[in-house]
Chains A and B, each alone.
Chain A
Amino acid sequence: QVQLVESGGGVVQPGRSLRLSCAASGFTFSTYGMHWVRQAPGKGLEWVAVIWNDGNRKYYGDSVKGRLTISRDNSKNTLYLQMNSLRAEDTAVYYCAKPMGVEWFPTQYGMDVWGRGTTVTVSS
């Protein structure tokens, strides 16, 4: 079945780095753009970033531009989020999500498959 599994979360000090991974299975990963979405404790969903299926186009939410980098390895069916210069406000559950279709921009589709998330805590 279609599945996304995030990993790489943990407790990290402010200013340090962390890389999250999202392993995809059950669908042709290389044909879909992919998203990262996060949720701070007790807060709502916040869109973080999107990457096109071929990795050539990437867009970010305003609050993470310049610090978080989305990437992918289609040979490994894996999505990544490199997180640098981490701040307390980056503390959240990070979800990867798949858009429903491939013909339009990935940001124009609803997200029909979500992972269970990985928790990042930024604290000294």
Chain B
Amino acid sequence: QSALTQPASVSGSPGQSITISCTGGSSDVGSYNLVSWYQQHPGEAPKLIIYEVTKRPSGVSNRFSGSKSGDTASLTISGLQAEDDADYYCCSYAGSGSLGVVFGGGTKLTVL
């Protein structure tokens, strides 16, 4: 179960768009449309913002969107707002060899 690879940090100004990548392998991200994304503010529990690569839970802003190409999933946040300043984690089903879950290392988004 190797961790998924995310950039350590990204930044953007209010109103801009940013994209966070999440690279796995052919046994996890590349084989299943089962990637989820979580937002975490300091001192709080993670919050699900994207599941099954592209779907948003009820109540999550449509400024958050997900996609996938090959072994890499991506989270895009458009129209950046101050409250988007947080840590973001991707997560994938680890595949039939493991039946577990693997997280990315996390990306700190700074809204300038």
Contacts and interface: CB of A to CB of B under 8 A. Distances in A.
B1 A110 contact: no
Nearest to A6: B45
B105 interface: yes
B19 to A, nearest CB: 19
B45 A116 contact: yes
B91 interface: yes
A117 B45 contact: yes
B94 A107 contact: yes
A47 B98 contact: no
A45 B46 CA distance: 9
Interface residue range, chain B: 20 to 34
A107 B99 CA distance: 7
B100 A107 contact: yes
A95 B103 CA distance: 14
Interface in B87-107: 87, 89, 91, 93-94, 98-106
Contacts of A108: 32, 34, 93
Contacts of A95: 45-46
Nearest to B2: A62
A110 B51 contact: yes
B36 interface: yes
Contacts of A47: 1, 91, 100-103
Interface of B: 1, 3, 32, 34, 36, 38, 40, 45-48, 50-52, 57, 87, 89, 91, 93-94, 98-106
